[in-house]
Amino acid sequence: MLSTTEMVISIAIALTLGGVLAFLFWKQRKEAKVLEEQYEKAKTAPPATQPLQLQAYERLILLVDRIALPNVISRTSTAGLSARDMQLLLTQTIRTEFEYNVTQQIYVSQQSWEAVRNLKDQNIMIVNQISSFLPAEATGQDLSRSILEMLMQSPKASLHNVVADVLSYEAKKLMS
């Protein structure tokens, strides 16, 4: 049989263990509740990167507009340039615009970024191809006119409207 002292010690140990277990259970429930509240809050609130993503789509739509061949030609058209100089000016302008926005790729989908990159590559290829068919004495105005005529004859040759639509769709999807 247990003495009174042993019984008091046993009860004290049992109460201490019970208290520790109750505290641990309470702490675990509190942490679970906090995590659940954070999850619910995260579900309803927009992610922290969403404004950056939307801004990236805006900038890329602007880029697509700026590297559209008719727009590049109208911004860079300079009298007195040879076709070769105009070719270099057009391709350099397209590359510079693209390089200025290259960091936007981390905020947009892979498909969107590839569409923008393909547009840049296609526009440079068009400029280089048309330039290669012109005579050596051709002027920058001849090159510009030839590019614009080609785009008018085959509107599907220019991807800038399609790429702008893809970017716009992706941005709208992000907002919904």
| CA 49 – CA 57 distance, rounded (Å) | 12
pLDDT band at 160 (very low <50, low <70, confident <90, very high): confident
Q: What is the mean pLDDT of residues 96-113?
A: 94
Q: Cα–chain-centroid distance for residue 52? A: 8
Least confident segment among 4-8, 42-46, 119-123, 134-138:
42-46
The domain ranges of the chain are 1-45, 50-175
With the CA atoms of 42, 44, 49 and 55 taken in that order, what torsion angle do they form, in degrees rounded to the nearest 10?
Answer: -170
Q: Name the token pair of 108.
A: 């947009």
Give the whole-number percent of the chain exceeding pLDDT 70: 90
